[in-house]
Amino acid sequence: MTTKTQSVDILKDQTIFSEGDPGDCAYIIEKGRVLIYLTRDKEEIPLTILGEGEIFGEMSLIDSQARSASVRALEDVRLAIVTKQQVLERVSTADKVVQLLMRVLLKRLRRRNDPTNPNAPVSELEIENSGVGADGTESALEQIKLENQIFQAFQNKEFELYYQPIVNLKTKKISGCEALLRWNSPTRGIVSPNLFIDIIENSSMVIPIGHWIINQALKDLKTIQTHLHSHKRNKEADDFMMSINISGRQFTHSDFVNNLEDLREKHDLQTKNIKLEMTERVMMDGAIALEALNQCYNQGYALSIDDFGTGFSGLQYLTQMPISFLKIDRSFVMKLLNDPKSKAVVSSIIHLAHAMDIEIIAEGIETNEEALVLETLGARYGQGYLFSKPVPLRDFISQF
């Protein structure tokens, strides 16, 4: 049944769709009840009765198979229509493992709903026809294996922190650094962060690993300040700022602020020397994240938005978030010299930040020309390979 309206009224005893029909939409029952049934040898075999608030017809949209059962209105019903695009958009954004499990479970459910053959196994061919295929299965299995390897690596203490200097563009002196997670595998060597950072941030591992990162970064911050004090560079030590990347999951964790404070006090540090870095996506976690941000800000922590201008929120959340720093993404910096539009964007961000009393850090600086243009436009701080790549703590300290 195809319709362009958002909802449809169906009369009692009317068939909504039949077994074997192509699936073009799903339905949510707003009023009334429907019968889900099979037809075998001209006899109806009831499967279930659904009522208000329940959904049906979604299986065909997810696994691209024909309708596995028929549906008839037991009384006058009103149905809200869920389009195929609406369903598939949500499925496509799900984790690969979730997609695989969803389709296999649907196949098993189809089998179970068939009283003529309830114990038939799901064949590899059927899984392939359902849209999973060998590539999808292999990809999902690889992701599971990688997650297990990452967790094992954490248990085996294979992670370490590297530090990239943040430099005052005018004086060229180091004013702080960003702590960056690195995986030094005994079998694979240094593993690219692109292979594991997103996996950590989108799993429950982000809480224990994030806690370890904060603890290690604060411990190393104390070491850096002690080194500077020992060389009579007291002002540099007092002003030095450690940037630590914090995910949305961490900000919304109930004990985040308390744990952060416990670690800070443990290492005898001041909040003004600690900068918490997040992407704009953190605001997708809503009021809980904003409450944590305000607590951190009120206690004296600096807050920074990373990769500004590349996210979903842009200017909307600048008025809500208590931000001290904006980081201009390297995608703008690398085009700065040859693309007038990128230069205009960078200039506008800097002027906006100054008007809101927010400091600018430009990342991904690789040439003196880029550094000079950014300084001229009003950026105060920068980081990038021009100054140093991320390095272990001992190598970072040797740069002073």
The predicted structure's pLDDT at residue 86: 80
Over the chain, what is the mean pLDDT? 85
What is the rounded distance in angstroms from the CA atom of residue 364 to the CA atom of residue 384? 4
Top-confidence residue, 89 or 206 = 206
What average pLDDT score do residues 325-353 get? 91
Query: What pLDDT was estimated at residue 307?
Result: 73
More confident residue, 314 or 229: 229
State the alpha helices, DSSP H only, in the chain: 58-63, 84-92, 96-112, 124-129, 133-155, 197-201, 206-230, 234-239, 248-251, 256-266, 286-298, 330-333, 340-355, 368-377, 393-397
User: Looking at the DSSP assignment, which residues form a beta bridge with residue 39?
Assistant: 44
Q: List Cβ neighbours of 233 (8 Å cut-off, separation of 6 or more).
A: 400
Could you tell me the two tokens for 128? 């392939």
pLDDT bracket for residue 311 (50, 70, 90): low
Q: Sorting pLDDT into bands at 50, 70 and 90, what band is 138?
A: low
More confident residue, 313 or 8: 8
CB 300 within 8 A of CB 269: no
pLDDT over 70 (residue 126):
no
DSSP string, 152-182: HHHHTT-EEEEEEEEEETTT--EEEEEEEEE
How high is the pLDDT of residue 213?
A: 97
Reported as a single tens digit per residue, the pLDDT across 13-48 is: 999 999 999 888 889 999 999 999 999 888 889 989
Q: Which amino acid is at 180?
A: L
Position 87 scores a pLDDT of: 77
* Pairwise pLDDT comparison (3 vs 301), residue with the higher score: 301
pLDDT digits (tens, 9 = 90+) for 157-184: 999 999 999 999 999 999 999 999 999 9
Whether residue 393 has pLDDT greater than 90: yes
240-284 pLDDT, tens digit each: 999 999 988 888 888 999 999 999 999 999 999 999 998 767 766
Instruction: Find the largest Cα–Cα distance for the chain.
Output: 93
Residue 145: pLDDT band (50, 70, 90) is: confident
Determine contact, residues 325/359, Cβ cutoff 8 Å.
yes
Residue bearing the bigger pLDDT, 151 or 4:
151
The CA–CA distances, whole Å, from 45 to 42, 55, 57, 326 equal: 10, 20, 18, 63
Q: Are 323 and 353 in contact (CB under 8 A)?
A: no
For the cut 80, the answer to whether the pLDDT of residue 116 exceeds it is no
Q: What is the pTM of this model?
A: 0.70
Separation between Cα atoms, residue 325 and residue 349, nearest integer Å:
12
- Asked if residue 368 lies in contact with residue 386, where contact means CB atoms within 8 angstroms, the answer is yes
pLDDT tops 50 at residue 128: no
What pLDDT was estimated at residue 141? 66
Q: Binning pLDDT at 50, 70 and 90, where does residue 386 land?
A: very high
Residues 198-252 pLDDT 10s: 889 888 889 999 999 999 999 999 999 999 999 999 999 999 999 999 988 888 8
